[in-house]
Structure 1
Amino acid sequence: MEIENYDQSVFINCPFDSNFAPLLEAMLFCVVYAGFEPRLASERLEAGESRLEKIIEIISCCKYSVHDLSLCKAEAVGEFHRMNMPFELGLDMGFRRAPDEQTNGKKFLIFENEPYDLKRALSDLAGADVEFHRGNFELVIKKLRNFLVVEAEASLPGPTKIETEYFTFLGWMTEKKISEGHTEKEATQLPTRERLAEMKNWVVQGCPVDFNA
C-alpha cells in the first residue's frame, strides 16, 4: 500500500525533556529547512489514544528516522535507564524487515553521546553506523545534514550555512512572538509544536532575516 508523503517524512525518536530541547530543536530545524516533514510522538495529545499505537502509526509513515540513544547511561546512582528510545528503534527496524517493498527502504540515523557508548549498552547494534554528538547541537546539524544529503538526496548548503540560518530563524521567531504579546523569555520557552509551526512558517516566507508585522 502506498503511504502518503512517506518519502518526505522523518520520524524523530529522542528524549523530550528540557535538557535535550536544544538538540531536538536543531533536529527539527534541519529537517524542515531541508524540505522534509518531521514526525514526533508528541505531535498529537489525544488522551484516549494509545501512545504505542500512535508511535507505530507514525513510524510506518516515515521513510527516514533519527533515533537518539544518547541517554543510554545513567548519570546518578538509582537513576533508571531511558528505554523508550531503543524500544522505538526496534519497532522501526521491524518495519524495515517486514515483507513490504516500501518499508524495506527505510533509512536510519542513530545517535549516541560519546563514541562507542552503544557498543557497551546495545551490543546488538555492532556493525551498524552510529554517530555521536556529545550534546552539541552543531554536531547534530552537521551529521543530520549529511544524512539527508546522502540518504535522501536533499539539496542543502554546508552545515555552517545551516547553523547561520538557524540563528536567523531564532531571532525572527523571538521578534514575532514579542509582537504577539510574549516576553523575550517566553519566546524562548514555547511548546515544541508551536516552535515547529514557526519553523515551517519561516521557510514558507522565504527565510526572512527580520520579522515585519
Structure 2
Amino acid sequence: MPDIDFDKSVFINCPFDKAYAPLLEAALFCVTYLGFKPRLANESLEAGQNRLDKIVELIKSCRFSIHDLSICRSERIGDYSRMNMPFELGIDVGFRRGNDPAFRDKKYLIFERDAYDLKRALSDISGQDVVSHKDDFSEVIRHIRDFLKVEAQIEAPGSAKLESEYVTFQGWMMEKKIHEGHSEQQVKTLPTREILDEMEVWVASGKPVQFNP
C-alpha cells in the first residue's frame, strides 16, 4: 500500500551525472516549491539493501513520477545505452496498469530531449504524452509546473515566476553557504542531496530574498 504521503510524493527518474545536474536541480526546485516531496533513487541506499527493491518501494510510495528518457542515443563511439530510466518507467507503468486499485491513479510525466526522439528509440511508448526539454532548465520547470497544476489540481504560479524564484533561491543559498564556510566554487559543486535540503529550508523559511544569519 502507498505511504501516507503518497499524494504529495514525486519520484524523479533521471540521470545523476554532472552534465544533467542543472536540469535535475531545476526539477527538484519546482517540485519542492509547489509543495511536493521529491524522491530519488540515490537519496539513501543502506548497505546490503537491494537497489531494485529500493526503487520499487520509492515508485510505490509516489502518486506522481517524472521520467527523463532524454539520453536515448549515443553521443560518441563506444557509448552504451542508458537503460535504467526506461526500465524504471516500465516498473511505474506496471503498477499503474496492475490489479491494485491503489495505484491506478498514478500519474507520470515523460521527458525526451528533442521532439520525436523516443518514437525512434522506444516505439512502444507511442500513445503516451511525452514532452521535450531541449536540455533547457526553464523548459523543465515549465513542463513540471504544468504537469502538477493539471494532474494534482493545485494552485501554481506561472513558470516565469517560478524561474525568478529559482534565481532568488540560488542567491540565498550562495549567501548561506558562504556564511557557513564554503567558497563560491564549492557552493557550485554541492551534492544534490544537500541542495535539496536547502530548497526545503528556504521554502519552510518563507522563501526569503536574502539570507540573514
TM-score in terms of structure 2 length: 0.98
1:32-47 paired onto structure 2 within 5 Å: 32-47=32-47
Q: 1:174-193 to 2 correspondence within 5 Å?
A: 174-193=174-193
Q: Map residues 8-87 of structure 1 onto 2, 5 A cutoff.
A: 8-87=8-87
Give the structure 2 partner of residue 91 of structure 1: 91
Return 167-176 or 97-106, whichever deviates more.
97-106
Uncovered stretches (5+) of structure 1, i.e. residues with no partner: none
Q: 1 CA distance for matches of 2:10 and 2:77?
A: 35
Instruction: Output the CA distance in 1 between the equivalents of 2:175 and 2:23.
Output: 22
**Distance in structure 1 (CA, Å) of the matches to 2:168 and 2:45:** 30
The CA deviation at 1:155 is: 1.2
What letter matches 2:32 in structure 1?
Answer: V
* 1:127 Cα deviation after fit: 1.3
Q: Deviations over 1:175-213 (max 9, x none)?
A: 000000000111111111110000000000000000000
Conservation of the 8 A alpha-carbon contact between 2:23 and 2:135: yes
Rounded Cα–Cα distance in structure 1 between residues aligned with 2:33 and 2:82: 29
The aligned amino acid for 2:130 is V
Q: Which residue of 2 aligns with 1:162?
A: 162
Secondary structure, counterpart of 2:19 in structure 1:
coil
User: Deviation per CA, 1:60-108, whole angstroms, max 9, x where unpaired?
Assistant: 0000000000000111111001000000000010110111112111001
Query: Match of 2:103?
Result: 103
Identity across aligned pairs (percent)? 59
Whole-Å separation in 2 of the counterparts to 1:47 and 1:23: 29
Counterpart residue type for residue 187 of structure 1: V
TM-score, length of structure 1 as denominator length = 0.98
Map 1:106-145 to 2 at 5 A: 106-145=106-145
| Partner SS, residue 163 of structure 1 | helix
RMSD: 0.8
Q: What CA distance in whole angstroms lies between the structure 2 residues aligned with 1:42 and 1:156? A: 28
2: CA distance, partners of 1:33 / 1:57 = 24
Q: 1:165 and 1:45 mapped to 2: Cα distance?
A: 31
SS in 2 for 1:4: coil
**Residue 181 of structure 2 aligns to a residue in which SS?**
coil
Amino acid in the other structure paired with 1:94? G
State the distance in 2 between where 1:43 and 1:78 align.
Answer: 30
Q: Which amino acid aligns with 1:152?
A: A
Q: How much does 1:154 deviate? A: 2.0
List per-residue Cα deviations over 1:104-153 (Å, max 9, x = no partner): 11001000000000000000011111000010000000011000000011
Unaligned ranges ≥5, structure 2: none
**Cα offset, 1:2, TM superposition:** 5.1
Give the partner amino acid of 2:100. Answer: D
CA–CA separation in structure 1 for the residues paired with 2:195 and 2:125? 33
Task: Please report how far the alpha carbon of residue 45 of structure 1 lies from its aligned counterpart in structure 2 after TM superposition.
Answer: 3.3
In 2, Cα distance between equivalents of 1:102 and 1:160: 35
Ranges of 4+ aligned residues in structure 1 off by more than 2 Å: none
One-letter code aligned to 1:125: I
Q: Which amino acid aligns with 1:145?
A: R
Q: How many residues align?
A: 213
CA contact (8 A) 2:2 2:60 kept: no
